[in-house]
Every structure is written in structure tokens, then in C-alpha cells.
Amino acid sequence: MAMGGKAGETFTEINVTPLTDVFLVLLVIMILVAPLVNQTVLKVDPPQAPSNQQQKQEPEKGPKLRVEVGASGVVTLNGTPINPPDSATIQQAIMAEQTKTQVQDLPLELQSEADAQQKYVVAVMDAAAGAGIKRMRVLPLKNNLPGI
């Protein structure tokens, strides 16, 4: 069936009306969904700058956990290497330190080299959360910083 042309002539033009309809429907869907995507589920409060009174206070004294993550994948807890450096083993070591000191809310100081693999740092954070650690500081290793 030829449409609006001479008999025997083939129809070679594309009908853009259905294509335009599809694009308009997609545009309407995007306009309706865009405000919903902008809402975040996880609310994170940014850290507050310490006041002058807080800066003058001396650093915390008492027992604390010091975890170092090396570039070679070595994870140490208070100077003792943890093998294998996975989340479960690190959590057991943290819980053993909590039991030894009889303090459940020990502050944890996590220091890592600049070249350390992220999976080891995340494993330490996961283990600390599993052990109930509420206070954690993440710092670079001082021997890795130029000029220190």
C-alpha cells in the first residue's frame, strides 16, 4: 500500500510522530522522578570546628587502640600484627583489647600510609563498628608526610 505517492513508489521516510511521543513521555517521567532522586537516605552531619576551649584541653589520657595500616597490607593493633588482616580477625583483636582493659568504649586511632590499600582501612573501620567503638580518628602515618 503506497501512501500519498505514485503507484509502485516505496515509502522511505521515517514517521517521527511516534518517536516524538516516546521522548515526551520519557521527559515527563524524568521530570517527575528527578526530585525523588535528590533526597538522600543517609544523613551525615559534617564535623564542627572545635572551639578555643576544646583546643586548649589536653589530649585524652588512658587506654586507647592504635591501629596502623601499612602499604604492604600489614595491620597492627597497638604494635601487634594481625594475621590475616580481615574484618573478623581485627574485630576479635579489638574485643580482646577491650576485655583486657575492661573498657568497652575505647577510642580508636587509625593511621594508614598513603599507599595502603583501601580494603584494609575499610576492614578496620568495619571491625571497629562491630566491636562497638564509638570514637575513631583517622590519621595519616606521620613518617609518610613530607617535612615531618
> What are the pLDDT digits (tens) for 24-73?
999 999 999 888 776 655 555 666 666 655 544 445 567 888 899 988 88
Instruction: Give the domain CATH number at 118.
Output: 3.30.420
In order of 33, 39, 41, 43, the CA distances from 36 in angstroms are 5, 6, 11, 16
pLDDT (tens digit, 9 = 90+) per residue, 124-147? 888 888 888 888 888 887 655 454
Q: Which domain holds residue 88?
A: 62-144
Question: pTM score, two decimals?
Answer: 0.56
In-domain check, residue 108:
yes
Q: Tell me the C-alpha distance between 23 and 17, whole Å.
A: 10
If one counts the domains in the chain, the total is: 1
Radius of gyration of the chain (CA): 30
In-domain check, residue 121:
yes
Q: In which band, very low, low, confident or very high, does the pLDDT at 22 lie, cut at 50, 70 and 90? A: very high
Q: Tell me the C-alpha distance between 145 and 77, whole Å.
A: 21
